[in-house]
Amino acid sequence: MRIARFSIDGNVAFGAVEGEGTVESGGLVIDIIKGIPYTDFELSGTKVPLSKVRLLPPVLPNKVVAIGRNYAEHAEELGNEVPEVPVAFFKPTTSVIGPGDAIEFPSFSSELHHEAELAVVIGRMCREVPRERVKDVIFGYTCANDVTARDVQRNEAQWARAKGFDTSCPLGPWVETDLDPSDLAVQATVNGEQRQLGRTSDMIRSIEDLVVHITEAMTLLPGDVILTGTPAGVGPLTVGDEVAVTIEGIGTLTNKVIKRG
Ligand code: MG
């Protein structure tokens, strides 16, 4: 099931996306969900065309935990070794934007990069999750763009500003709850031109590894998000660009880059 969060006439709700098509092509409808989707929920049967709503980030995370250098070819392209222990960092909740929202080019950077990533959405409160229980704590999967001020990342020991500035975490367009994430194509295009193309099967640490590693340290809450790292091909974004992250079996997350006003 594809679960979207959206606003219509000033009201915010979750809904199940039905039909064939894409956000751009149309043909999709949303069946409004009664309540919050992480527990047993009911569809209301009230349907609205997707074209009539504004899609919002599909989750409201308490935190976004991101993993760096999880694809060997990407670590190599930036001149980095594959780390012995996964590199984990936070992106703040204020960095999260939804499909169609603008990525604001930060004033303190002159080198902005896209990073297409599979995002894992957590469905229940959990800590110290054993490997065999990982699938029980996952709600679903969405597309993410770990937008990075690469020059700032090089110059500052911690990545809080480089990867945590406002609008640096586009998520969406919805959460797919029925998906085997083990071998999916992850793609980024800029203005329609392919920049990144990798497969989740090339991740150095699997989703199981990452959930075990993160929850060893901290409690994850429903709606929390794990970014699983980006494949090779990261590259520059400039003002006016349209960047799209497409993940097989999920959909396409599209955002435009603007100058911060
Ligand atoms: Mg990344």
pLDDT of residue 22: 86
86 and 196 co-located in one domain: yes
Distance 116 CA to ligand 1 centre (A): 8
Cα-to-centroid distance, 143 and ligand 1 (Å): 12
89 and 173 assigned to the same domain: yes
- Same structural domain for residues 160 and 223? yes
- C-alpha to C-alpha distances, 220 to 17, 69, 90, 244, nearest whole angstrom: 26, 22, 13, 28
Separation of 255 CA from ligand 1 center, angstroms?
17
Domain of 248: which CATH number?
3.90.850.10
Q: How far is the CA of 83 from the centre of ligand 1 (A)?
A: 14
What's the gap in Å between 155 CA and the centre of ligand 1?
17
Residue 238's pLDDT is what?
A: 98
**In this structure, are 109 and 202 located in the same domain?**
yes
Which pLDDT value is given to residue 82?
86
Q: Name residues whose C-beta falls within 8 Å of residue 149's C-beta, 6 or more positions apart in sequence.
A: 106, 108, 109, 111, 112, 113, 161, 162, 163, 165, 168
Eight-class DSSP state of 183:
G
124 and 248 housed in the same domain: yes
At residue 134, φ and ψ (nearest 5 deg) are -55, -45
pLDDT value for 26: 83
CA–centroid distance, 10 to ligand 1, in Å, is 33
Cα 67 to middle of ligand 1, angstroms: 6
Range of the domain at 36: 2-55
Ligand 1 centroid to residue 8 C-alpha, Å: 32
CB 168 within 8 A of CB 148: yes
Provide the whole-model pTM: 0.97
Same structural domain, 134 and 214: yes
How many residues does the structure list for the chain?
261
Number of domains comprising the chain: 2
* Residue 205 near residue 226 (C-beta atoms within 8 A): no
Say how many Å lie between the CA of residue 20 and the centre of ligand 1.
30
CA of 115 to the centre of ligand 1 (A): 6
Radius of gyration over every alpha carbon of the chain, rounded to an integer in angstroms: 17
What's residue 74's pLDDT? Answer: 87
How many H-runs (helices) and E-runs (strands) does the chain carry?
5, 20
Same domain as 138, residue 15 = no
What is residue 25's predicted lDDT score, i.e. its pLDDT? 84
The pLDDT value given to residue 21: 85
183 touches 235 (CB < 8 A): no
Q: Which residues does 35 contact at the CB level (< 8 Å), separation at least 6?
A: 41, 42
Q: How far is the CA of 25 from the centre of ligand 1 (A)?
A: 29
Which pair of structure tokens corresponds to residue 172? Answer: 């969406």
> What spacing in Å lies between the alpha carbon of 144 and ligand 1's midpoint?
9
pLDDT along the chain (261 residues), means of 10: 96 95 88 89 94 96 96 89 92 98 97 98 98 98 98 97 98 98 98 97 97 98 98 96 98 97 80
Indicate whether 206 and 236 sit together in one domain.
Answer: yes
Q: How far is the CA of 179 from the centre of ligand 1 (A)?
A: 22
In this structure, the answer to whether residues 118 and 155 fall within a common structural domain is yes
Of the CA atoms within 13 Å of residue 222, those in its CB half-sphere come to: 6
Please check whether residues 144 and 43 belong to one and the same domain: no
Rounded to the nearest whole angstrom, what is the distance from the C-alpha of residue 129 to the centroid of ligand 1? 23
Q: What distance in angstroms lies between residue 227's CA and the mean position of ligand 1's atoms?
A: 7
Instruction: Provide the CATH number for the domain around residue 23.
Output: 2.30.30.370
38 and 119 both lie in a single domain: no
